C-alpha cells in the first residue's frame, strides 16, 4: 500500500515539531520549496543542492536522442537534449532504506 504525503502533511508535522502555527509553518515550507525550485531552474548547465544527512538534488543534462521510438505508434522520433533532476539519497537515508522490508 502506497502512502502519499502532501505539502499540507509536511506543514502539519513541521508546525507540531517547532510549536508554530500552521500559517507560519506553511510559509516556511513554501519558502524552502520555492527557493529550491528557483535554484534548480537557474540557467546554469549543472546545479547541485546538497542537504547533509538527507541527499543531493542535481540537474543533469541529457543528450539528444535522434532515433528514439514511440512504442504506441511505432514511429521513430527525435528527442531534443534537456535537463533533468536527479536525487541521490544521503548515507543515513540510504542505510535506513537498505534494512529488510516486508509489506
List, for residues 79-100, the tens digit of each pLDDT value: 999 999 999 999 999 998 888 8
Whether 49 and 33 share a structural domain: no
pLDDT score, position 42: 87
Whether 76 and 29 share a structural domain: no
Whether 91 and 56 share a structural domain: yes
Pairing of strands 75-79, 82-89: unpaired
Whether 18 and 52 share a structural domain: no
Q: What is d(CA 44, CA 21) in angstroms, rounded to the nearest whole number?
A: 37
Whether 29 and 64 share a structural domain: no
Whether 79 and 32 share a structural domain: no
Residue 63 class from Cβ within 10 Å (0-12 exposed, 13-18 middle, 19+ buried)? exposed
Q: What is the CATH number of the domain that holds 99?
A: 4.10.520.10
CA-closest candidate to residue 97, choices 67, 65, 54, 64: 54
Q: What residues make up the domain containing 92?
A: 45-103
pLDDT over 80 (residue 45): no
pLDDT score, position 8: 96
Amino acid at each position: 500500500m502506497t502512502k502519499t504525503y502532501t505539502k499540507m502533511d509536511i506543514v502539519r508535522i513541521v508546525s507540531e515539531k517547532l510549536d508554530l502555527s500552521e500559517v507560519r509553518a506553511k510559509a516556511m515550507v513554501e519558502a524552502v520549496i520555492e527557493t529550491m525550485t528557483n535554484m534548480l531552474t537557474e540557467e546554469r548547465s549543472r546545479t547541485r543542492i546538497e542537504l547533509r544527512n538527507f541527499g543531493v538534488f542535481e540537474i543533469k543534462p541529457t543528450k539528444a536522442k535522434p532515433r528514439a521510438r514511440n512504442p504506441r505508434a511505432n514511429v521513430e522520433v527525435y528527442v531534443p537534449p534537456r535537463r533533468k533532476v536527479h536525487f541521490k539519497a544521503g548515507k543515513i537515508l540510504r542505510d535506513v532504506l537498505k534494512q529488510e522490508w516486508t509489506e
